[in-house]
Structure 1
């Protein structure tokens, strides 16, 4: 019986321990659930669930919502019941006269208990509009916080997309560097063979050149591997997860001229000429970007702040109603032993305060002008982001075909130079030159591929449509 009792809590704990272990494994390796390589969509989902920036943005929104509730409470009356209990003991001595004329002092004490119940009510009828302005400002603050949360969400998605494609780019460049090392090793082995005493068809000095090429390729590989490790760490950071090591990422298909852009803007496709597309894109961005909308709300809130400051320079009238009821708690709790009602009107005017009120108004007005200027600057920055992303996307799109053609030509050139060297008709310099051209062509092709996807994601983010990123980016 005792064994069963001991096993019951143990069996109850096991699922919790297993769940915690699974959570830790997911933290270290987000694609360890068996679903295969991590897609961009999965990386974005992980970031939206784990990124601390979103937690902070949600907390800021909740704080603003509670401040609005606090401000709205000023429109309601306040009711304050109270209960007072007091037990007081007074002690001393009394003189007692005896029959024979003798006075005797005896100790004496007295206990007094009082109980008092009271309920009071107060309500502000009028406050010269200060309450309305405070409520308006609180609503504006909540709206700004909501837009800030949306902007944080879009920024997180954009950052994940940037980091994801950069990680794929660095992985591809590692493969390019590894292929470079393999080709350089093959060339070195061949030249050593041809420069050996048994063959002697190649000068021994060519061996040194081939060795230098091989060692340089090895250094490039080490640098590429380090860049890939850093890129994967940056992706983890963008996703809001910890851990080490490279993530298994799903590859993206090579884009073609028929590949559409992720963002949707009426009347704009990748084939739309820039003079017609860019104004439409900028208009779309400035209408939809939550950070611009947030700045517009902040500018309106600045106007409210100015009005509040101006109130302090004018006569202020407050009208309050109050009532209080006091009950006899000791004898009859329903019997009123005292009550009061009052209407209080209070008029104040800041006749002289050393210019503090006026200075506060001027400071609020200057802050408002600064907010408006920052909004205009932000619109210009967004316009710049949109145009840069659009042009980069178009350039990457048309360069993909060119880099593929250059890559095919470089491969043929390298194969021809290598074959000529085997037959003794070529030179080491020709092979190394051909290999250098091939590596550059491979790098250009990789850069064009991921430049397209990066520019597409950045354009989508700059248009305020980041939620569309990742829907069909990976295979």
Structure 2
């Protein structure tokens, strides 16, 4: 197959210069860039991805806090009343017990400082794993953004496709009605039209109306899917800006060095796949996850060895009652602690095996992801090339089918043609129009999917720059 060396970018007719960073208000037809901007502002998936990233960032701060000393001031106030009896000697050597109470008040201010000097490397590994998790969350957010843009493009062009198919069905109903009316007129005036021709024309007209109802329902659903992809609720159809037919000299939306100059599909696909496997955020994410799982193995292995903790502790007490600035006591200690899991029922060893299994799974996921990326890229590239060469062919077929229908319709008016011929020509014309619509929007859909497959979804909806 001849490689599509010059492919049309996704350019929406009547599109205005607009950023995709915020929803754009417009009184005219909604462009693809406006739909994408709305999705980036409203889509709950992005909110969830951002929240996950923030949570990972906070967990990283928690691990970094272990490198710093902890300072814990405390203040203790105690007011105690003690009640009892005392013996009192009275005259004559008489001892009498009398009730007695005593109030004691104490205050204590203290500052404790603790700092871990060494922990067998667990602190460093936990910090590394937290950083890897944060990086993976950032890549996940970037991938979610790419996915949202790709979904909007898919549903946008599908909505345009279904709108165009509604227009095809409307034209089909109009033509079928004209044929039906003409057959009835000839039957009433001339009286030579057999009843079966009238029934055939009526059946074709009623079938066309049913097809129109189905096409209208498909369009409503397609617009509902677009609304959902944009993160909007409610119902109703949008006024969408349509696309222009592809230009043979316009480039594809995605930009990868060396692809346009490639003379073979295989060379272009090789370059595209290599680019996607390096640049796509979801591929980078699974690679980071694999690195994080390797770190988890090291953390589990530390738990199976002797663990040494060395801590520096200090405490200072002050005289809160008389002079809060005067120290009344202090202590300092360097504490070394060594522990070894001599026997724990195999829990430590099982934890290591589980971490190793997770690590093997993450490595396999990297390979699976790269294979999936290669599949998506090649499919999108070939679909784009197929749609590109199909457009002129389907356009020519549509023109020929239209001429055939006009000729058959004119023959019927002159009494030289048959009802079957004109209905057959009408059916062929409808199919040719459907094929053209499918080829046109298949092109735009494939172009957007290739751009998304290459990790360049941000370019979708914008005019390509050379």
TM score, norm. by length of structure 1: 0.91
Q: Distance in 1 between matches of 2:333 and 2:93?
A: 60
Per-residue deviation, 1:97: 4.3
**Structure 1 residue matching 2:66: 3-state secondary structure:** helix
Per-residue deviation, 1:114: 0.5
- 2:402 match: 411
Residue 290 of structure 2 is aligned to residue 299 of structure 1: yes
Aligned pair partner of 2:183 in 184, 191, 195:
191
Q: Distance in 2 between matches of 1:294 and 1:416?
A: 61
Q: Distance in 2 between matches of 1:298 and 1:157?
A: 24
Aligned pair partner of 2:250 in 249, 253, 259:
259
Q: Distance in 2 between matches of 1:462 and 1:235?
A: 20
- 1:27 match: none
- 1:51 match: 43
- 1:377 match: 368
Residue 49 of structure 2 is aligned to residue 74 of structure 1: no
Check the 8 A contact 2:73/2:110 in 1, yes or no: yes
Check the 8 A contact 1:260/1:270 in 2, yes or no: no
Per-residue deviation, 1:339: 1.2
Per-residue deviation, 1:332: 1.8
Q: Distance in 1 between matches of 2:297 and 2:419?
A: 77
**Structure 2 residue matching 1:340: 3-state secondary structure:** strand
Count residues with an aligned counterpart: 443
Aligned pair partner of 2:265 in 268, 274, 287:
274
Check the 8 A contact 2:23/2:35 in 1, yes or no: no
Check the 8 A contact 1:170/1:227 in 2, yes or no: yes
- 2:19 match: none
Check the 8 A contact 2:23/2:37 in 1, yes or no: no
Distance 1:31 1:363, change over 3 A: closer
Residue 201 of structure 2 is aligned to residue 210 of structure 1: yes
Check the 8 A contact 1:44/1:470 in 2, yes or no: yes
Q: Which consecutive unaligned segments of at least 5 residues does structure 1 have?
A: 1-29
Q: Distance in 2 between matches of 1:102 and 1:77?
A: 65
- 2:431 match: 440
Q: Distance in 2 between matches of 1:333 and 1:32?
A: 63
Distance 1:359 1:271, change over 3 A: closer
Q: Could you report, residue by residue, the CA deviation over 1:224-264 in whole angstroms, capped at 9, with x for unpaired residues?
A: 00100000000011000112100111001111322321000
Q: Could you report, residue by residue, the CA deviation over 1:88-135 in whole angstroms, capped at 9, with x for unpaired residues?
A: 112233344443666655432211110000001010001110000000
- 1:136 match: 128
Per-residue deviation, 1:195: 1.1
Aligned pair partner of 1:284 in 272, 275, 280:
275
Residue 145 of structure 2 is aligned to residue 153 of structure 1: yes
TM score, norm. by length of structure 2: 0.92
Q: Which has the higher contact order (CA 8 A, sep 6+)?
A: 2
- 1:5 match: none
Q: Distance in 2 between matches of 1:205 and 1:37?
A: 46
- 1:243 match: 234
- 1:10 match: none
Q: Distance in 1 between matches of 2:36 and 2:24?
A: 16
- 1:336 match: 327
**Structure 2 residue matching 1:308: 3-state secondary structure:** helix
Residue 450 of structure 2 is aligned to residue 454 of structure 1: no
Q: Which consecutive unaligned segments of at least 5 residues does structure 2 have?
A: 1-21
Q: Distance in 1 between matches of 2:287 and 2:230?
A: 29
Distance 1:259 1:270, change over 3 A: farther
Check the 8 A contact 1:257/1:398 in 2, yes or no: no
Q: Distance in 1 between matches of 2:211 and 2:157?
A: 21
- 1:170 match: 162
Tell me how large the CA RMSD over aligned residues is: 1.6
Q: Distance in 2 between matches of 1:205 and 1:63?
A: 73
Q: Distance in 1 between matches of 2:130 and 2:110?
A: 34
Aligned pair partner of 1:311 in 291, 299, 302:
302
Per-residue deviation, 1:272: 4.3
